[in-house]
Amino acid sequence: MKLEPMAHQRAFAERWAATGRLLNFSGCGTGKTASCILTIEQYWPGARVLVLGPLSILKPAWGGDLDRFVPGSRWEIAYAKNREQVMTSSEAQWVITNHDAIKQIADNNWHTQFDVLVVDEADAFRNKDSLRSKALAKVTAEVPYVTLMTGTPTPKSVLDVWHLAFCVDRGERLGKNYFGFRANVCSPKQVTNTIVKWVDKPQANDIVTALLSDVTFRVNLDDVTEMPPLVTRTVQVDIPPKLLKMYRQMQYDSLLELENKEVVNAVHAGARLQKLLQILSGAVYDENGAVKDLHKERHELVLDLALEAEASLVAFQWEHQRKGLEAEAKKRGIDYGIIDGSTAIKDRERLVEQFQAGKLQVLFAHPQSAGHGLTLTMGTRLVWASPTHRADLYEQMVHRIYRKGQTRRCEVIHVAADGTAEEEVYIKVAEKRGRMEDLLALVCQLQELAA
């Protein structure tokens, strides 16, 4: 299959070829992988390429696209068991490996044999202090052509973009010192006597966008393809009186006394909130890691909602929630699949194929395990069994079903207990997504002005 690039993919190729080092913040489902392949085939056809990405998408996304668009291309995946052999002996033009390989690559200077570095889902390297981020900084300094790709660069704050930008321009635009950058774009807010939270200043997005505009490329999914409607709604679930009493007790006292007098402690606010969400989800972990079942009504509601559509994706947060949903699915005799951290790569591929072929009614998925690289356009409904705090995971999950190739109206359903922390979490995630989208919209506007 010959790669017939779309206009935005040609535009990306021209920008990357002109700059040599580029941030690609294009939205989920816009074909960033194909854009990279196009650029390299057109401008650096003899270059040796190193690709870093989440382990789960290496073969289906990168290997699959190379086979489709560049038949006969020589590529090899470097897993942990064969990484040294691939890095030192392989003659493949494209070497594809997972994010966590970067430290070993940097320590052994294996990157020096490559001309091009592509970092897929580069938001994994936002934390400047992590070992893999420090290794990436070394590697990006020594590989001539670099692109970092993510559709969710600033899920929490504009600060999230600093290290990604540093890996592209060595601090030329946002500064070499993170703390100096933070002082310029954020204001300190005293949370407790010892804890300070840095909050984005009102003009932070404008400042950062202007500084990075010449090394940033961005298109939205709606800009490059005509998409069907996407609607979002919240469905309330009733809380049994006994459960509501437990919830309120934990909410105000940070303790939950179960019927057998066992006590679950939540030491700080974050842990308390997690316990609150766990209670509402149907069960809670005690201090020994054991599951204490509280109610099953939510599992029934989630399955009811999922089965209203021909095929649905259900996002769960905890193992106990997955087990409860699975038990309800078995009881109803429906065809389902599960993707979480324990799902082998070959099983993920099989489940995706079955879902896309219409053989599964429901696919239960954990956002951290299924949020990248999966095309699930047979599904037209995403049901959040419980909310996630992370705007990037939320965005990625939505775009498993709402992406290029989707032709039908899609719906995202938030399941929430009325008057509880769940509603607040959904609101906060929407606010974070709003701030991120504001920054990305500004990038698009500056590109249009430059054109």
Domain that holds residue 42: 7-221
Does residue 101 share a domain with residue 64?
A: yes
Q: What is the number of structural domains in the chain? A: 2
- Pairing of the two strands 21-24 and 49-53: unpaired
Are residues 234 and 157 part of one domain? no
The two three-digit tokens of residue 249, written as one number: 């007790």
Taking all residues of the chain, what is their mean pLDDT, rounded to a whole number?
86
Classify burial at 393, counting beta carbons within 10 Å of its beta carbon; exposed 0-12, middle 13-18, buried 19 or more.
buried
- The reply to whether 305 and 207 lie within a common domain is no
Bridge partner residues of 248 (DSSP): none
**315 and 170 housed in the same domain:** no
Q: What is the CATH number of the domain that holds 190?
A: 3.40.50.10810
Please write the tens of the pLDDT for every residue from 38-94.
999 999 999 999 999 988 778 878 998 899 889 889 999 999 999 999 999 999 999
For residue 153, is it within any domain? yes
| Position 428 pLDDT exceeds 70 | yes
Bridge partners of residue 179, in order along the sequence: none
How far apart (Å, rounded) are the C-alpha atoms in residues 286 and 277? Answer: 14
208 in a structural domain: yes
Rg (C-alpha) for the chain, rounded Å, is 23
Q: CA–CA separation, 157 vs 214, rounded Å?
A: 21
Residue 156: pLDDT band with limits 50, 70, 90: confident
The yes-or-no verdict on residue 258 having pLDDT over 50 is no
Mark whether 332 and 185 lie in a shared domain: no
155 and 367 in contact (C-beta within 8 Å)?
A: no
**Structural domain includes residue 141:** yes
Residue 139 pLDDT exceeds 80: yes
Side chain identity at 358, as an amino acid letter?
G
Q: Alpha-carbon distance 271 to 151, whole Å?
A: 29
